[in-house]
Structure 1
Amino acid sequence: MKNDESSTTTLYQVASAAGVSPATVSRFLNGTAKVSDDKRRSIERVIGELNYKPNRLAQSLKMGSTRTIGVLTQALESGYFNGAMVGIEDAVKAAGYALLIMSGHWHADEEAERVELLIGRRVDGVAILTGHMSDQQILDFSKRVPIVAFGRKMTGERMQGFSLDNYAGACEAVDYLVQQGHRRIAFITGPADHSDARARLAGYYDTLARHKIEVDPRLVVPGDFQESSGLLAVNQLLAENQRFTAIFASNDLSAYGARLALYRRNIRVPEDISIVGFDDLHSSMYTTPPLTTVRQPLYEAGIGIGRMMLSLLGHEQPPVEIPPLSLVVRESVRLV
């Protein structure tokens, strides 16, 4: 039988040319045990020279594994989770895993249905990128398949969860605006039932209080993390003749909408109104003007998610150091 071979080169030929046993080559390909650096380099060299392509289906059947990680994201079109998904893919591909991605669209029932579909496709594990499912639902799913949940501070026998410090990021953004002389700072919120949005709102309130700046509730306008909500929020502020010198948007997409609303009223940024966003999406460095925003290390978080998943699947992994959120100062804020 030649379960682990391509049409031209077999695993046994790779082992012979590399001077190792077929079992060593198999362990290297499957990632099921550590291989010494010398043997690893030799195997990699021979694989390249012989253009060896292992039969992944045969490997999966033999190991009882599909070598697939399911990823539940929310809205592929938003771009927010792209960095995290790239990080997950980079973390798991060296171990021979591929991603199967589905969207939950911020609906708990749809998210649960998608996880069921992923489990039905026999994925080896599921990474959940935030969402509205309850912690108990996720813990129940983890009894059936290993789970790593981003945006959740929870652990279980077959699951790990972690989140970034959105509160600290919001505090840094508001601190910066205050340091630039702003006292009338409007805030465009995120969805009320979203934990990240609540943390950012708390950071806004607490930082103003720390600077002994009274919060004007009329400057806190509801949003939903979409561009349209930023546009509508600024239209509301202007229609009500609210007085403010800066806007802190709960995410970059809301900031884009806010910027458009100001542009349509011939209000200049930052000369008339300053804007700060949150996320540091790739496009934020190309807005007019380039957007000052809080950077979320989403790629690094994705690496962490991928390595946590591999650990749950029995692969030894190095620890992951995820950098803190940080303010990226560009040109959308001025000193007043």
Structure 2
Amino acid sequence: MKTKSKTPREAGGSATLLEVARTAGVSAATVSRILNGGTRVSASKREAVEAAIAALNFKPNLLAQSLKRGRSMMFGVLTQDVDSPFFAETLLGVEAALSGTGYEPLIASGHWNPKEEADRIRRLLARQVDGMIVLFGRLSNDELQRFSEHVPVVATGHELRAPRALAFRLDSELGGYIATRHLLDLGHRSIAHITGDLAHADAVDRLAGYRRALAEAGVPGDERLVVSGNFKEPGGVMAANRLLDAGVPFTAIFAANDQTAYGARLALYRRGIRVPEDLSLIGFDDLPSSLYTTPPLTTVRQPMFEVGKLAARSLLKLVEGEPADVEIPELSLVIRETTRRLR
């Protein structure tokens, strides 16, 4: 007696692309476009295909896909510090945007060293990546454009528009202004600033925003209240200690990023200075940990998860030869419990 042959799913295996197409009510070509990261598919069809893929346990043959398309289905991602919670948020955004596209990120670190950054990119290119995401760093626009002659490039922390290269950056000067303006609105006039590493454009811009806010409020800037940090917690500890040891009175600190604020908070705690009762403190970034500091940190939010998603989605478009115009995410003030009105 003949028995009915089982489908791959009934046999415990993966379904075929044709079965996914039939279940979703679309053509096999539509399924293929979605799997290959194509963007010219309606939201309803994409949802139907994704539901069919989940229901049928469909696992695409990525090797066959890459051979057919002449692509590796890999994107190189150059970060600066894989241990940094700032970059971790951005990388999570990249991964989220690439999920379901068939592309995988291949990550390397440049450690804010332009020679090392260039070397890491060349190594990624040797792996035949189909595109590059460069997260901040110190490469020049000219260098980014030269790399884009090999593969499309999307970079953050730069400003660039070229046929195969796109770069965008958030407005750190505005962020520094927002942070300082918040403290001014609370009645503070003696406001200290712990900078980031001033070799970084973002640190320079945040310092400029701090100075602009003071100038607009008619508050004379006191350079004794501006001390250098390095965007790291130990730098925040040392900078806060220098401020306190200098003997110049102040009632609030604007730290160049949240990690610096964490270090400053520790230094204040060790000196018996209460936050915010004795001194207000504001950071910059809105890292996930800032919600759980004691007390929770007031900060300027940089939507780094969304920045990572935007970079990856832009690169997908460039690889497909589509225009990749971007709407740059906005910064916003997140008021928690480390700032209060001056009494």
Q: Normalising to structure 2: TM-score of the pair?
A: 0.90
For the Cα contact (< 8 Å) 1:146–1:313, is it kept in 2?
A: yes
User: What corresponds to 1:335 in structure 2?
Assistant: 341
1:98 maps onto 2:143 in alignment: no
1:69 maps onto 2:75 in alignment: yes
Distance in 1, matches of 2:318 and 2:259, equals 34
For the Cα contact (< 8 Å) 2:35–2:100, is it kept in 1?
A: no
For the Cα contact (< 8 Å) 2:197–2:231, is it kept in 1?
A: yes
Report Cα offsets for 1:179-233 as digits up to 9, x if no partner.
Answer: 1111111110111121111110000111111111111111110111011111111
Distance in 2, matches of 1:41 and 1:328, equals 34
For the Cα contact (< 8 Å) 1:230–1:253, is it kept in 2?
A: yes
1:172 maps onto 2:178 in alignment: yes
Aligned with 2:197 (options 181, 191, 194): 191
Report Cα offsets for 1:81-124 as digits up to 9, x if no partner.
Answer: 22222222222223221111111111111111111111111111
Query: What displacement does 1:327 show?
Result: 0.9
1:1-336, aligned counterparts within 5 Å? 8-15=14-21, 21-32=27-38, 34-35=40-41, 40=46, 43-314=49-320, 321-336=327-342
Distance in 2, matches of 1:61 and 1:332, equals 55
Distance in 2, matches of 1:33 and 1:260, equals 48
Aligned length: 332
Which amino acid letter does the alignment assign opposite residue 235 of structure 2?
A: S
Query: What displacement does 1:320 show?
Result: 5.6
Which amino acid letter does the alignment assign opposite residue 80 of structure 2?
A: Q
For the Cα contact (< 8 Å) 1:280–1:296, is it kept in 2?
A: yes
Identity value in percent: 52
Report Cα offsets for 1:10-37 as digits up to 9, x if no partner.
Answer: 3344456666554443333223474466
**Ranges in structure 1 where 5+ consecutive residues have no aligned partner:** none
Structure 1 pair 241–313 and aligned structure 2 pair: CA distance change class (3 A): same
Report Cα offsets for 1:23-74 as digits up to 9, x if no partner.
Answer: 4433332234744667555544543343221110111011111111111111
Which amino acid letter does the alignment assign opposite residue 87 of structure 2?
A: F
Report Cα offsets for 1:152-204 as digits up to 9, x if no partner.
Answer: 11121201011111111111111111111111111101111211111100001
Q: Normalising to structure 1: TM-score of the pair?
A: 0.91
Q: CA RMSD in A?
A: 2.3
Distance in 2, matches of 1:19 and 1:268, equals 63
